[in-house]
Every structure is written in structure tokens, then in C-alpha cells.
Amino acid sequence: MTTRTCHSIVLAAGLGTRMKSDLPKVMHEIAGLPLVGHVLKALAQAGSERISVVVGPQMPDLEALVREITPSVNCYVQTDRLGTAHAALAAKSSLEQPADDVLVLFGDTPLVTPETISRVRDALANGADVVVLGFETSNPHGYGRLILSDNGLQAIREEKDASETERNITACNSGIMGFSGEKALSLLEAIGNSNAKGEYYLTDAVEIANAHGLNVTAVMGTEAETQGINTRTQLATCEAVFQQRRRENILDIGVTLLAPETVFFAHDTEIEPDVVVEQNVVFGPGVTVKSGARIRAFSHLEGAVVGAGSVVGPYARLRPGTVLGADTRVGNFVEVKNTTMGHGAKANHLSYIGDASVGSKSNIGAGTITCNYDGFLKHRTDIGESCFVGSNSTLVAPVRLDAGAFVAAGSTITDTVPEDAMAFGRSRQSVKEGRAKELRARLKAAKDKKS
């Protein structure tokens, strides 16, 4: 397979009208990645080195998105929506360039796997001129049926055109097709629009290829991975399938999920073996968790690295830019953003640490806040190794605590604390004897006067 070149065309011009959204359909997300992104990712993993995406008119955001996901993508515009073959031919100039394999997929099938795409390519490598990806289903209603014989795939029959016998066929069309590179353009150009809707249907390529004596075959995937998305309900269904598939994969590599059905992963979550994930944890995009770490219940992580042996949560939030070293502790109701924490550093309770660095073995007391924003700009707080920050302290950035510094509880720190120095940034306590009794009497009298 590695010696064969592959050009893939992804059809992504749908408006998503049934989703009741102004957003193009394929820009809706599953596991933090747009639908079309899942397809592009699977194609790249299946060895497609050239990808064209067909978009609708006035979809600059979609074009920008696909180029961000896969910079080498070429985008083509289908000005008039006249069917799937018409959409594929919007990329005609790319089809004129040589390729051994040509694949046509839909941008709203995010669950298709690289392995299944590779099976379509394998069939092409074994001599097929046209390959249709099908699936078996117990309820074929609404799907095009695959008319198979000993000689291969004879036709794809849409339900409205199928005979009673053909409607009982359970082998159905997924819409994903592969073509021999040297035959693809001629087959697509041979497709006509002599039908009730006057549209050009990609599936007609099967009968055209058979009429020319070409080798037409079908390979089978699963109904789950080939399902498309047209509604919010179907979007939610695909999200559930993705999550279940990902949970099984995570368990198989040696991760413990205490309640798998309550843990949600992003498309790119990376977790090493011997990690424990407790109940009700959400992983946003860009998270890596190293071996031996424990993510405790009700935590949310995004754009973060969790070091080996670290403990996060319960009820912790790691925001983008967070890098935790080995054996760190980020405890309950602690939020960390754009911060590095060194080996063995701790922030166990009720703190916000943003735009900061925390040295190894340092301890951040409960209620500590790094004041990183002045209303216009963000500023950094640098905390050295083996520092101790007492509870309810406020560190006003930009500020630095050198190694071994000690900040007394309740302090507001605005200046550098030198190495091994102790800083007090609070008013001295004043005690007024008997004042509490007088205050209670006065307040009670005021209340009695109102009632």
C-alpha cells in the first residue's frame, strides 16, 4: 500500500439545514474536533497524501478550518448543488493529476476508521476499478441496497426504485467509494442526470463501470462507522459511539476507568498505562496524562500535561498551557492556567494559579490567587523551588518569589521576595476589648426598632 499514491475528495458543501444551524454541517464537533476533521484525520492515517475538500459557496470559515487541520488540503467550490457526482467534479482539476487510488467520502461521516479506508484501497490494489463501501444492517429502510452477484457489485438501488425483493436486501451503501485513478475522471464525467431531480448521482458510476466491463466490487464496514449526520440527534448518537469506542481503547491499553460511562474524551486525548481516572471526568482537546497519575472525580482538563504520579482533583480544572511535573498535587477547587508546576509541587485547595511557574517542592496554600490580569495585559508570577505560600495570599503579578521564600498567610505580595526570606503583606491585628458586645447590642436595637 505504501507504494501506491492516493487522492481523496471529501464532499463538505452541505448547509446543515436540518440541524437548525447557521454553521456548515461539517463544522459541528464530535469530541472537540469538527466532523470533517475526523474524516481528514482518518484519511491521513490511511495514507492519502493528497486531499481535496469540496465546499459550498461563501464558506470561508470552513475553508480556513480544513486548512488549519490539514495545511496541504486544496479546497474547491461547488457553486450549484446538483448531486454527489457533480460535487466530486468540482475538484476536476485535481482529478486530472495522476494518482493510483481516488477516494470519495463525505465530510459528515466522522466515525469511519483508517483501517476501513485502507480496506477500500486494498481492493483497488487488487485490481478493482470501482469499490463501494457497504455495511450490513437489520433495518435497511431508507438506504440504497447493494445488488451483489458472483461477479461483484452490479448496481446500487435506491429504496424508491427497488423491487420488493431488493428491499429485503440488508447490504447497504455507505456512500464512500474508491476508484482506480486512471478511470476515475472518465467515470465521473460519464454520469448523467436523467432522473426526477435532474441531479448527478455518484452511485450511477457502478452501472456505468459494469457496462464498460470494469471490475466493480464492494467491501463491508460497519453501520456504526459509516453513519452520516444530518440532525442534532444523529450528532449526539455519533458522539456516544465515539466515546464508547474511545473508552474501550483506553481500557485496553491499561488505564483504569472507575466508571467508564461517566468519562468523556477528546479526539486527541493521550493517556499512558497505569493511569486511574475516577468518575465524571471530562477531557477537552490537547491533554496528555503520564503513567501512574490519578485524575480524581469531577475534574475538567484541557490543553494540559499531567506528569507521572501526579494527582489532580477532585473538582479541579486544568486550563490550556498547564504543565504539571511528576508527583505534583492539584486538589479540590483549584484552577490552573498557562502554568508550569515542578516535581512535587502542591496546590491542594481552593486556589487560582494563572500565568505562573511554580518550582519543585513548593506548596501553595488554600485560597491563594495569582493576580495575573490588570484589565489590559496578563503578567507572570514566578515562584521558585521549595517556597511556601500561606493560605489566603494574593500574589500581584508581575512578581517573583525566589527559592525557599516563605509568604505568611493572608499576605498581599507585590514585590520580589528574596531567597529564604519571609514576607508579611498584611495589616497588624488590632484588638478592641468589649467592642463585639457593644456592636451586637447596637445591631439588635436597630433590628428591634424596624420590627
Q: Where are the beta strands (DSSP E) in 162-213?
A: 171-180
Helix/strand/coil for 171: strand
Rounded to whole angstroms, the Cα distance separating 253 from 274 reads 9
Q: Is 173 annotated for ligand binding? A: yes
Contact 285, 303 (CB under 8 A): yes
Distance in angstroms (rounded) separating the CA atoms of residues 282 and 290: 16
Q: How many CB atoms lie within 10 A of CB 139?
A: 9
Distances from the Cα of 212 to the Cα of 132, 134, 192, 239, angstroms: 17, 22, 15, 42
Instruction: Work out whether the CA dihedral 227, 231, 235, 237 comes out positive or negative.
Output: negative
Say what the pLDDT of residue 451 is.
Answer: 80
How high is the pLDDT of residue 15? Answer: 86
Q: How many CA atoms lie within 13 A of 376 on its CB side?
A: 0
373 marked as binding residue: yes
Q: Is 13 annotated as a binding residue?
A: yes
Distance CA 50, CA 97 (A): 10
Please give the full DSSP string across 365-411, using - where no structure is assigned: -TT-EEE-B-SS-B--EEE-TT-EE-TT-EEESSEEE-TT-EE-TT-
What domains, with CATH codes, occur in the chain?
6-226 (3.90.550.10), 254-423 (2.160.10.10)
Report the C-alpha gap between 358 and 196 in whole angstroms.
68
d(C-alpha 280, C-alpha 275), whole Å = 15
402-411, Cβ contacts within 8 angstroms, sequence gap of 24 or more: 403/359, 409/365
| 337 has binding-site annotation | yes
- 84 carries a ligand binding annotation: yes
- Residue 25 known to bind ligand: yes
Consult the annotation and say whether 201 binds a ligand: no
Q: Which pLDDT does position 1 carry in this prediction? A: 45
pLDDT at residue number 2 = 55
User: 323: which residues sit within 8 A by CB, 6+ positions away?
Assistant: 304, 305, 307, 339, 340, 341
Backbone phi, then psi, for 224, in 5-degree steps? -60, -45
At 142 the pLDDT is 87
Is residue 343 part of the annotated active site? The answer reads no
- Residue 259 marked as a ligand binder: no
Q: What does each C-alpha distance from 132 to 82, 104, 117, 155, 445 come to in angstroms?
A: 21, 10, 11, 10, 87
Give the Cα separation of 257 and 269 in Å (integer). Answer: 14
Tell me the per-residue pLDDT of 118-173, one tens digit each, with 9 for 90 and over: 999 999 999 999 999 999 999 999 899 999 998 899 999 988 888 999 999 999 99
Report helix, strand or coil for 92. Answer: helix
Q: pLDDT of the chain along its 451 residues, tens only?
A: 458 999 999 999 988 888 899 999 999 999 999 999 999 999 999 999 999 999 999 899 999 999 999 999 999 999 998 999 999 999 999 999 999 999 999 999 999 999 999 999 999 999 999 999 999 999 999 899 999 998 899 999 988 888 999 999 999 999 999 999 999 999 999 999 988 788 999 999 999 999 999 999 999 999 999 998 999 999 999 999 999 999 999 999 999 999 999 999 999 999 999 999 999 999 999 999 999 999 999 999 999 999 999 999 999 999 999 999 999 999 999 999 999 999 999 999 999 999 999 999 999 999 999 999 999 999 999 999 999 999 999 999 999 999 999 999 999 999 999 999 999 998 888 899 999 999 999 999 999 998 8
- The catalytic residue among 267, 300, 343, 349 is 349
Q: What DSSP string runs through 215-279?
A: -EEEEEE-HHHH----SHHHHHHHHHHHHHHHHHHHHHTT-EESSGGG-B--TT-EE-TT-EE-S
User: What's the N-to-C CA distance of the chain in angstroms?
Assistant: 88
CA 353, CA 282: separation in Å to the nearest integer? 20
Known binding residue 409? Answer is yes
pTM for the model: 0.90
Q: Rounded CA gap, 329 and 354, in Å? A: 16
**195 among the known binding-site residues?**
no
pLDDT score at 261:
98
Q: What is the pLDDT of residue 329?
A: 98
